[in-house]
C-alpha cells in the first residue's frame, strides 16, 4: 500500500508570505516524526515550500494547482470549513467539485509515480488540503473528523489497487 500525506503549511506572520520563527520551529518538530518520502510536492507559495524544507525534506515539484482554488470555489465553499462541509460542497457539481477532481487526479499521478509501500508528501493551504482529501475519497464519511486543518495538519491517504481506499486525519498538538 502507498501513502500520501497532505498537510497545510506552517505558521506565517499575518499578511506575510514566509514562515515566521514559530512556523520554522513547528515544521521542524512535525518533520521529525514523519517520512521518509519519495516525492515531495508543494504549492508555489513560499510558505508551503519553506514548510517542506523546515521539515527536512527536499522539494521535487511545485504546482500552481496546490496554491489556491480561486474565487468560484470560494463562493461555493468559503474557507475555513470542516472536511464534512467540503464533502457536502463538492456534491454540488460546481466549481468546488471540478477543483477537487483536479486535485484527486494530480494526487493519483503522484501515487502512480512512487513505488509500492512508499510515501509522498504534499504541502499546500487551508481549504486546498480539505478539498484534495475529499476529492480523493468522495464517498468517505468525514463527519467524525474535526474542523478545518490548522498549521501543519492534514490527512494521510492510503492507495491500493489504483485508488485511494482510506484516510486518517493528522492533527498537531501545540
- Delimit the domains of the chain by residue range: 2-170
Least confident of 11-20, 30-39, 121-130: 11-20
What average pLDDT does this structure show over 147-151? 97
**CA–CA separation, 136 vs 150, rounded Å?**
20
Sheet holding 61-63, edge to edge: 61-63, 39-43, 119-124, 2-8, 154-160, 163-170
What average pLDDT does this structure show over 13-21? 93
Closest CA to 125 of 71, 47, 18, 70: 47
pLDDT at 114 (0 to 100): 97
Q: What is the pLDDT of residues 156-172, one digit of tens each?
A: 999 999 999 999 999 99
Q: For all residues of the chain together, what is the average pLDDT?
A: 97
Closest CA to 150 of 23, 16, 37, 29: 23
pLDDT at 75 (0 to 100): 95
Q: What is the pLDDT of residues 19-69, one digit of tens each?
A: 999 999 999 999 999 999 999 999 999 999 999 999 999 999 999 999 999
pTM over 0.85: yes
DSSP 66: G
Q: Which distant-in-sequence residues (6+ apart) come within 8 Å of 45 by Cβ? A: 9, 17, 67, 125
- CATH for 2-170 is 3.40.50.1240
Amino acid at each position: 500500500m502507498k501513502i500520501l500525506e497532505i498537510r497545510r503549511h506552517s505558521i506565517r506572520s499575518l499578511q506575510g508570505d514566509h514562515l515566521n520563527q514559530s512556523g520554522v520551529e513547528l515544521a521542524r518538530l512535525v518533520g521529525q516524526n514523519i517520512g521518509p518520502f519519495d516525492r515531495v510536492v508543494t504549492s508555489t507559495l513560499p510558505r508551503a515550500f519553506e514548510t517542506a524544507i523546515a521539515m527536512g525534506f527536499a522539494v521535487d515539484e511545485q504546482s500552481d494547482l496546490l496554491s489556491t482554488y480561486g474565487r468560484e470555489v470560494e463562493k461555493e465553499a468559503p474557507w475555513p470549513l470542516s472536511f464534512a462541509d467540503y464533502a457536502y460542497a463538492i456534491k454540488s457539481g460546481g466549481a468546488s467539485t471540478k477543483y477537487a477532481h483536479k486535485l484527486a487526479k494530480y494526487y493519483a499521478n503522484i501515487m502512480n509515480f512512487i513505488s509500492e509501500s512508499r510515501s509522498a508528501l504534499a504541502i499546500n493551504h487551508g481549504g486546498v488540503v480539505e478539498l484534495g482529501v475529499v476529492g480523493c475519497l468522495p464517498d468517505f464519511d468525514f463527519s467524525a473528523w474535526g474542523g478545518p486543518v490548522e498549521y501543519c495538519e492534514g490527512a494521510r491517504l492510503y492507495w491500493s489497487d489504483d485508488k485511494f481506499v482510506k484516510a486518517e486525519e493528522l492533527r498537531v498538538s501545540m
